[in-house]
């Protein structure tokens, strides 16, 4: 089992001897959702308003609480937006629009914001628009001006936290889930909710335009076949999930090596997920990974 030993460390009671792991922050079962948001997302949202891309991942075994951390206790219900247990994503919306309001009050008519939201899932290495259930697999493209984008992906204009949450909620109902032996409603896809923020500041008859993206990602749960007894379609899904999670891990480790001065080639194209998020993982982007761990996880 696992024991929280400090605000930055975990003790794994393993054999032949216990192991200690260190992190930027450790939240135990008594940690409130507001505290998690403050530790994880606040600086990333602030960076987004300043023009920096950001990504927040929830990663972990199926059934470990990723969706609860990101969304809250009752997806599909309007009360979840104001519930004290609401997760990282609705709190990001609230904080983002409070910052936008503050900036507009400070600069008046000289500063304008345009906020757009999209919501997709990556299922078996195919991209589907959760805001358009009739969409088939969408193509991932790269353009010199637009960067990496998904052809035909719907984007909705939003002007408030509640509007953004309504977009999230409508798409969440279309996400693929299935029952496994470890989780009654196991997410079978990676869900990526993206907020694109464009600011236009008018100064001395000139316009300064900044565009940033905030990716909020609920990853499909990692799992082992011997634990889930998956077969057929469930086994194919699990294989695709684990392959893309492995590619994500390789990209992150390569980025860490680069920060330590090593010369590494980063294999963004090994999965649709890493290629889609390329511009929000490397460079001056800000990334935070929430690792959800079940207290009794093996």
**C-alpha count within 13 angstroms, C-beta hemisphere, residue 245:** 26
Strand 2-6 relative to strand 9-12, pairing: antiparallel
Token pair of 57 as six digits: 């991942």
For residue 63, say whether it is annotated as part of any ligand binding site: yes
Q: Can you say how many angstroms the Cα of residue 169 is from the centroid of all Cα atoms in its chain?
A: 15
Residue 167 vs residues 39, 40, 255: alpha-carbon distances, Å: 25, 23, 32
For residue 62, say whether it is annotated as part of any ligand binding site: yes
Burial class (CB in 10 A: 0-12, 13-18, 19+), 262: exposed
| Alpha-carbon span 224 to 25, nearest angstrom | 27
The partner residues of 289 in beta bridges, in order of sequence, read 57
H or E element, residue 126: strand 126-129
Neighbours of 74 (CB within 10 A): 14
Token pair of 271 as six digits: 């999965």
For residue 65, say whether it is annotated as part of any ligand binding site: yes
Phi/psi for 126 (5° steps) reads -120, 145
For residue 66, say whether it is annotated as part of any ligand binding site: yes
Neighbours of 94 (CB within 10 A): 19
**C-alpha count within 13 angstroms, C-beta hemisphere, residue 57:** 20
The partner residues of 187 in beta bridges, in order of sequence, read 177
* Residue list for the binding site: 60-67
Q: Which residues are annotated as a binding site for ATP?
A: 60-67
């Amino acid at each position: 089992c696992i024991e929280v030993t400090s605000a930055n460390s975990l003790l794994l009671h393993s054999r032949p001897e216990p192991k200690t792991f260190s992190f930027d922050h450790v939240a135990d079962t008594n940690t409130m959702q507001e505290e998690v948001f403050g530790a994880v997302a606040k600086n990333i949202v602030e960076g987004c308003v300043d023009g920096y891309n950001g990504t927040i991942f929830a990663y972990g075994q199926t059934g470990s609480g990723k969706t609860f951390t990101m969304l809250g206790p009752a997806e599909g219900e309007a009360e979840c937006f104001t519930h004290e247990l609401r997760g990282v994503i609705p709190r990001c919306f609230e904080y983002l629009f409070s910052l936008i309001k503050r900036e507009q009050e400070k600069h008046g008519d000289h500063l304008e914001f345009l906020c757009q939201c999209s919501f997709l899932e990556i299922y078996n290495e195919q991209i589907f628009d959760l805001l358009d259930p009739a969409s088939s697999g969408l193509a991932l493209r790269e353009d010199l001006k637009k960067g990496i984008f998904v052809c035909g992906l719907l984007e909705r204009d939003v002007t408030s936290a509640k509007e953004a949450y309504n977009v999230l909620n409508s798409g969440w109902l279309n996400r693929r889930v299935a029952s496994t032996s470890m989780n009654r409603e196991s997410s079978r896809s990676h869900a990526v909710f993206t907020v694109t923020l464009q600011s236009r500041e008018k100064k001395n008859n000139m316009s300064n335009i900044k565009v940033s993206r905030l990716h909020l990602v609920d990853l499909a749960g990692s799992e082992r076949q011997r634990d889930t007894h998956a077969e057929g379609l469930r086994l194919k899904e699990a294989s695709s999930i684990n392959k893309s999670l492995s590619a994500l891990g390789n990209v992150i480790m390569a980025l860490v090596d680069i920060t330590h001065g090593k010369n590494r080639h980063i294999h963004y194209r090994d999965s649709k997920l890493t290629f889609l998020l390329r511009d929000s993982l490397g460079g001056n982007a800000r990334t935070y990974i929430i690792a959800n761990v079940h207290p009794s996880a093996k």
